[in-house]
Amino acid sequence: MAFREKGILFILSGPSGVGKGTVCRALRKRGTSLKYSISVTTREPRKGEIDGVHYFFKSREEFKGMVQNNKLLEWAEYVGNFYGTPIDYVRETLDSGQDVILEIEVQGALQVKKRFDEGIFIFLAPPSLQELKKRITGRGTETASLIENRLTMAKSEIELMQHYDYVVENDEVQAACDRIEAIVTGEHCKVSRLIEKYKRFSEVD
Amino acid sequence: MAFREKGILFILSGPSGVGKGTVCRALRKRGTSLKYSISVTTREPRKGEIDGVHYFFKSREEFKGMVQNNKLLEWAEYVGNFYGTPIDYVRETLDSGQDVILEIEVQGALQVKKRFDEGIFIFLAPPSLQELKKRITGRGTETASLIENRLTMAKSEIELMQHYDYVVENDEVQAACDRIEAIVTGEHCKVSRLIEKYKRFSEVD
């Protein structure tokens, strides 16, 4: 049987306001081979949202069952609804040889790290805390005390960077995408991932 | 003092005939920021060769002195002349923040590995042993028994791949260059290289 490389799970994470969503959308536009993980949620589908495409929609009972049966890589509650990453979907996609990218908050990433250590953890960092403050303030939706909370949280999240493999500075969206694509390419060249392929190729000759 | 990232030493190596020289020349043409290591040699300068640019030209006595004083990362004898990689030049370039790339035979790379484990070792691999045979035969300069010798050596060198960090398939020169450039970018994003930078940036705010 020919050697078939498995996909790699990339976890893109970082402080709130750093631009994870923007970077992910820009990556999608580039049409990379990365598959985007589909979350499970208990919230109601919005107009136009399709089950299995935008989300997997589940009842609270079903969601609890998934948590109890270790079917979620990570999960969290947000404004009264539950959100999580289904482990089966991720594993099946990786087994089919495709990479998966997961865009997620720092706390969620650390949950994933515990359960899926072979993932590649990328920390998206702001160029400076001043710049992060500007970005959060720029949204115009947060109060001064909320902004301060976020910055304090960002500082403590930066301290968790040591649990990650890579850090990508989001100074400019396209530059950040270039770095993420380079990381993906480089990870696929790791000897540890390819040694079996070359062992076989030496045998057959 | 601002954080200043040190350069990284990349060692590009692989079996004879795989195309290390071609890939290195193509990388040079791209004008990447990689500095090419300059070898020390005891052979006579050829017309147009400049000391300190193409090679560092040394007498056999001087060369032996460098070996004895651990001034060479690796060295070898080839057709009666000595060739080596000067450790001081490499260290100074890395300290100045520039990356260095070293194109070298597998045995030389393993010598470097022992003395400079923090280097990033890239194995340039042929798409198959059949293809490698074609490339060696295509040179038209080798006898049948020499070709067989080289293939046997290539097989044993592929077994040494486990001591490397990355393997880049040289299926097509530009594709191989793309992968090497991605590896360089990815290595510069490693958390282990940047954690000090972000620790400081959290302190000053």
CATH of the domain at B115: 3.40.50.300
Residue with tokens 């799970």: A9
Instruction: Tell me the residue range of the domain where B143 lies.
Output: 1-34+99-205
Among A130, A167, A187, beta carbon nearest to B191: A167
Hey, of A189, A192, A198, A204, which one would you mutate to test binding to chain B, going by the most B CBs within 10 A of its CB?
A189
Q: How many other C-beta atoms lie within 10 A of the C-beta of residue A110?
A: 18
| Interface touch B159/A202, C-beta < 8 Å | yes
The answer to whether A201 contacts B161, with C-beta atoms less than 8 Å apart, is no
Per-residue pLDDT band for B43 (boundaries 50, 70, 90) equals: very high
The C-alpha atoms of residue A97 and residue A145 are separated, in whole angstroms, by: 46
The reply to whether A51 and A71 lie within a common domain is yes
Asked if B124 and B28 sit in the same domain, the reply is yes
The predicted structure's pLDDT at residue A5: 86
Q: What pLDDT shows up at residue A142?
A: 75
Q: Indicate whether B13 and B64 sit together in one domain.
A: no
Kindly state whether residues A159 and A185 are assigned to the same domain. Answer: yes
Q: Look at B184 and B195; give whichever has higher pLDDT.
A: B184
Kindly give the pairing relationship between strand B81-86 and strand B72-78: antiparallel
Of residues A12, A14, A11, the one with CA closest to residue A154: A14
- A92 & A105 share domain: no
Min distance A53 CA to chain B CA atoms (Å): 31
The nearest CA of chain B is from the CA of A161 a distance in Å of: 7
A152: closest CA of chain B, how far (Å): 10
Q: Among B98, B118, B147, where does a domain finish?
A: B98
Residue B16's H or E segment, with its range, is none
pLDDT band, residue A89 (cuts 50/70/90)? very high
pLDDT at B170 over 70: yes
Q: A13 with A61, same domain? A: no
pLDDT at position B73 over 90? yes
Would the pLDDT of A92 be above 90?
yes
- The answer to whether A19 is a known ligand-binding residue is yes
Confidence band for A203, pLDDT divided at 50, 70 and 90: low
Contact A17, A1 (CB under 8 A): no
Domain boundary among B48, B70, B98: B98
Euclidean distance between CA atoms A191 and A102, whole angstroms: 24
Strands of B28-92 (E only): list them: 35-36, 39-41, 55-57, 72-78, 81-86
Contacts of B18 in chain A (CB under 8 A): none
Say if CB A147 and CB A137 are below 8 A apart.
Answer: yes
Q: Is the confidence at residue B205, as pLDDT, over 80?
A: no
Spatial contact of B178 and A185, defined as CB atoms under 8 Å apart: yes
Cα–Cα–Cα angle for A196, A198, A204, rounded to 5 degrees: 105
The span from the CA of A7 to the CA of A90, in Å, is: 10
* Total domain count, chain B: 2
Query: Between β-strands A81-86 and A72-78, what pairing exists: parallel, antiparallel or unpaired?
Result: antiparallel
Q: Is the pLDDT of residue A204 over 60?
A: no
How sure is the predictor about B31, in pLDDT bands with cuts at 50, 70 and 90?
Answer: confident
Best CA proximity match to B115, nearest among B1, B6, B9: B9
Give yes or no: residues B117 and B94 share one domain. no
pLDDT tens digit sequence for A154-184: 889 989 999 999 999 999 999 999 999 999 9
CATH number at residue A52: 3.30.63.10
As beta bridge partners, residue B121 has: B11
Chain B touched by A166 (CB under 8 Å): yes
Same domain? A43 vs A17:
no
B123 interaction partners in chain A (CB closer than 8 Å): 191
Read off the pLDDT of residues B86-135 as tens digits, 9 standing for 90 and up: 999 999 999 999 999 999 999 999 999 999 999 999 999 999 888 888 88
Which of B58, B80, B98 corresponds to the end of one domain? B98
Residues A73 and A103 in one domain: no
Nearest CA in chain B to A180: B186
Q: Which residue of A has its CA nearest to B125?
A: A198
Question: B186 and B112: one domain?
Answer: yes
- Statement to judge: residues B112 and B199 lie in one domain: yes
Q: Residue B19, Cα to own-chain centre: how many angstroms?
A: 13
Residue B83 C-alpha, separation from nearest chain A C-alpha, in angstroms: 28
**Per-residue pLDDT at B182:** 98
Check whether residue A21 and residue A75 sit in a common domain: no
